[in-house]
Structure 1
Amino acid sequence: MESLQIFFENADFVVVNKPENLNFHSENQPGLVVFVQKMFPNDTIFPVHRLDKMTSGLILFAKHKTAAQQLGELFAERKLQKFYLALAHGKPKKKQGWVKGDMLPARRGSWKLSNTLENPAITQFVSQLTVPGERLYLLKLHTGKTHQIRVAMKSLGVPILGDLRYQETAKASLADRGYLHAYAVKFDFKGQTYQFVLPPSQGAEFQKPEVQMLIQQWAQPWQYFIKE
């Protein structure tokens, strides 16, 4: 593959722009972690979090073990804020608010949201109409569960456009990608505040003028969310 875009780098960590349709770990072909490690042969790279294959956008890697531990603690303590963009067709059960519930295994590696709250996935979101029948969602993760946003969106009655696992296959296969993008990250580290924002560059639907206008309005996504 072509070289990855390094969005930011210092002595402790690197922020990478992950392309859509690239596995995080190697499966039948090399995954993201392998490519990042090759770009930094003198460092031992540690992923701080992960992204699904269909998801594009910002992902953080520590460049040494101490940084990995420190950044991992921020993530575990919910002090590393992550914001995502998603596109979906249809009318959601609600247009903004919270999605909370335990994640339960479903068929063939999928997950489903339960009404119980023993160890819940917590997602906060706002949304805006782009064109009739389509909305852009800005989502903030308060936990880091597998498929969390994808399951949250399905529970709202609006699975992510192009999501081959959670949207009806006939509809999902018409899209040129899965429309989930890791849009922004904000955290404090070693006395400094870091905030990174990267609009999506892949996917025809993300490039529509109506969508681009909303993304520009959400240039500082943390302003749209109150604390839990």
Structure 2
Amino acid sequence: MRFETLHENDHFIVINKPSGLLSVPDRKQSEPSLKDLLLQKYGEIYTVHRLDKPTSGLILFARDAETHKTLSKLFQTREVEKYYLGLVEGTLIPKEGIIETGIMEHPAGGKMINHVKGKASKTAYETKETFKGYSLVRFRIFTGRTHQIRVHCGYLGHTIVGDGIYGEGKPLLLSTIKKKFNLAKKELEERPLMGRLALHAHEIRFQFQGEDYVFEAPLSKDMQATLSQLRKHAAVTNPL
């Protein structure tokens, strides 16, 4: 899979990861990961944090052990600001807020759940755009729990589009938002506008060696196209 290098220096690399690519190798080494590809190019790469396979966007890797130690500590002490954009099903009420719950692995495995005995987690959210049946939401995570945003969206009762673990996982189809929709003659079935998890690591902010860094990853083409169609066919008269 192709990926975009947003920034590179002697200490770290910032990548815009595509959806569907593992951040780091899984236990079974079942498929190539972004880290594998970077190791081939740079020879030495250190994992600082991760993104879920279906999540696109910003991810940071260190190029030396000392930088890895420094950046990892910044993440652990919550001195890194991390922002995501997600397309959520429904309209969030209130349109902004903070979610604080305990998150732990489900006893049966395979997913995470909100639970009083779980690890403390905190997510702030703000609705940026409202459509008929959907919302574009900006998230800031203060902790880095597995599937944190996805679990907290489930807590709100509004799962992220395309999430088959915490929601129904239904793709977003143009036919669901466009009144007069006709399938192209050469197509046997409709292609989804958004057929994967609609979550994107959009922005990251931190200080390293006395310098402030801010990076933004542009939305993937499928998310841009989806938002364009929502604005065209699912705009609301009186947005929040």
Which TM-score bucket, shorter chain as reference?
Answer: 0.7 to 0.9
Instruction: Report the AA paired with residue 10 of structure 2.
Output: A
Alpha-carbon distance, 1:118 to partner: 6.6
Alpha-carbon distance, 1:105 to partner: 1.7
Offset from partner CA, 1:177-224 (integer Å, 9 cap, x none): 210000000001101000001121232465523879xxxxxxxxxxxx
Does residue 135 in structure 1 map to residue 135 in structure 2? Answer: yes
User: Which residue number corresponds to residue 32 of structure 2?
Assistant: 30
User: Which residue number corresponds to residue 68 of structure 1?
Assistant: 68
Contact 1:164 1:172 in 2 (8 A): no
Equivalences for residues 197-216 of structure 1 within 5 A: 197-204=216-223, 207-209=226-228
Which runs of no fewer than 5 residues in structure 2 stay unpaired? 173-191, 232-240
User: Which residue number corresponds to residue 12 of structure 2?
Assistant: 13
Instruction: Report the AA paired with residue 112 of structure 2.
Output: W
Which runs of no fewer than 5 residues in structure 1 stay unpaired? 213-228
CA distance in 2, matches of 1:103, 1:118: 4
Inter-CA distance 199–210: structure 2 relative to 1 (3 Å threshold): farther
Contact 2:24 2:50 in 1 (8 A): no
Does residue 164 in structure 1 map to residue 164 in structure 2? Answer: yes
Contact 1:200 1:206 in 2 (8 A): no
User: Which residue number corresponds to residue 154 of structure 1?
Assistant: 154
User: Which residue number corresponds to residue 214 of structure 2?
Assistant: 195
Alpha-carbon distance, 1:80 to partner: 0.9
Instruction: Report the AA paired with residue 112 of structure 1.
Output: I
Instruction: Report the AA paired with residue 98 of structure 1.
Output: I
CA distance in 2, matches of 1:123, 1:113: 13
Percent of residue pairs identical: 33
**How many pairs does the alignment contain?**
207
Contact 1:205 1:211 in 2 (8 A): no
Structure 1 segments of 4+ aligned residues over 4 angstroms from their partners: 204-207
TM-score w.r.t. the length of structure 1 is 0.84
Instruction: Report the AA paired with residue 59 of structure 1.
Output: I
User: Which residue number corresponds to residue 110 of structure 1?
Assistant: 111
Inter-CA distance 153–12: structure 2 relative to 1 (3 Å threshold): same
Inter-CA distance 149–80: structure 2 relative to 1 (3 Å threshold): same
CA distance in 2, matches of 1:165, 1:119: 20
Which residue, out of 205, 208, 216, partners 1:186?
A: 205
TM-score w.r.t. the length of structure 2 is 0.80
Contact 1:130 1:211 in 2 (8 A): no
CA distance in 2, matches of 1:158, 1:67: 38
Inter-CA distance 201–127: structure 2 relative to 1 (3 Å threshold): same
| Structure having the higher Rg | 2
Alpha-carbon distance, 1:125 to partner: 1.0
